[in-house]
Amino acid sequence: MAVHAHPDDESSKGAATMARYVDHGHEVLVVSCTGGERGDILNPALKDDPHILRDIVQVRREEMAKAQEILGVQHTWLGFVDSGLPEGDPRPPLPTGCFGLEPLEVTSEALVREIRRFRPHVMTTYDENGGYPHPDHIMTNRVSVAAFLAAGDPEAFPHAGEPWQPLKLYYNGGFSKARLEAFHAALTERGQESPFAEWLERRGDRPDRRVTTRVDVAPWFSRRDDALRAHATQVDPKGAFFAVSNELQAEIWPIEEYELAMSYVATDDDERDLFAGIDPAQADALARSRPELVIDDRVEPTVEMPR
């Protein structure tokens, strides 16, 4: 189960991993916490498209359906409303009724219902700071952690289905400094223009996140890119996401990275598989029991939720 804030996030974060596991026979469910209703149109070619401007909500649902088909995943909408990205100084408050302002017990119960229905062994989501400080990304982390811990507890949300404990929770990796530097060097060495110098400058000296898990996914890069392009309003097809060819990526960075935050099974910090440490013969029985956490490497957030 991959828990994301908006439609398009699933295609820019961990999409090749999901496609790999689908092709290997695993069921994969994407949960979109919001409908992306307040997202900007980021593709310059579509800025003035009257159909999009008339009904962005329906357009984003159609885009998500295309991406879902490309990746081969299942999908569900959790049903909350996009918070938007507050900008300005001072920042404006979040809009009434948005996901970022919903009570945690409401949002986490909705996700617990999906966990108990789908019964995943592994969950992925964002780190405690949202990967970047969008209020919906930060809330997605809060909700995912709370639901991960509550789903196996029969006393938590007893009307939300039979208890089921996912065994591992991961935070998505992304554009780490090391990855950006590798991409920048590869392009400049070949005499190509690199958009990543500006990214590295903005990033500054912030340290990279811990990486525990590296999944080899180069054969699925094309599926990932096709799924991302399906979100046509949200990505510029000539933008930085596509600056490095898939052939070059396969040579210099053929992996997607994850940080293991919590686990009910023993493992190590050099995994090559999100299911590492999970015994298929025992997994369901363990998920139905009340196991003890073996790994709990959550940290406190350093970014406050905008209000």
| pLDDT exceeds cutoff 80 at 214 | yes
Confidence of residue 51 (pLDDT cuts 50, 70, 90): confident
Looking at domain 2-173+256-295, its CATH superfamily turns out to be LmbE-like (3.40.50.10320)
Confidence of residue 46 (pLDDT cuts 50, 70, 90): very high
Q: Which of 123-127, 204-208, 274-278, 281-285 bottoms out in mean pLDDT, i.e. has the lowest?
A: 204-208
pLDDT value of residue 124: 98
Q: CA quadruple 89, 94, 96, 101: dihedral positive or negative?
A: negative
Domain borders along the chain are: 2-173+256-295, 175-208
Q: Rounded to whole angstroms, what are the CA distances from 63 to 10, 90, 187, 209?
A: 12, 34, 31, 31
Specify the DSSP element, H or E, that contains 77: strand 74-80
Q: Is 137 annotated as a binding residue?
A: yes
Task: Indicate the length of the chain as a whole number.
Answer: 307
- Cα–Cα distance between 202 and 135 in angstroms, integer? 20
Q: What DSSP character marks residue 38? A: T
Q: Which residue has the higher pLDDT, 90 or 253?
A: 253
Specify the DSSP element, H or E, that contains 256: strand 255-263
Contacts 24+ apart (CB under 8 A), 147-151: 147/108, 147/109, 147/111, 147/112, 147/115, 148/115, 148/123, 148/262, 149/262, 150/108, 150/112, 151/112, 151/115, 151/116
pLDDT value of residue 209: 92
For 242, counting Cβ atoms within 10 Å of its Cβ (0-12 exposed, 13-18 middle, 19+ buried), the class is middle
Q: What is the mean pLDDT of residues 275-301?
A: 96
| pLDDT exceeds cutoff 80 at 307 | no
Contact present, 286 and 249 (Cβ < 8 Å) = no
| pLDDT exceeds cutoff 90 at 306 | no
161-182: pLDDT as tens digits: 999 999 999 999 988 999 999 9
Token readout for 200 is: 């590295």
Mean pLDDT of the chain: 95
Which residues lie closer than 8 Å to 242 by C-beta, 6 or more apart? Answer: 225
Confidence of residue 90 (pLDDT cuts 50, 70, 90): confident
Scanning the chain, the segments in alpha helix (DSSP H) are 9-12, 15-23, 50-54, 56-71, 104-118, 135-150, 177-189, 196-203, 221-230, 246-252, 283-288
3-state helix, strand, coil in the chain (%, to 5): 40, 15, 45
pLDDT value of residue 304: 78
Q: Is 82 annotated as a binding residue?
A: no
What is the pTM for the complete model shown?
0.96
125-172: pLDDT as tens digits: 999 999 988 999 999 999 999 999 999 999 999 999 999 999 999 999
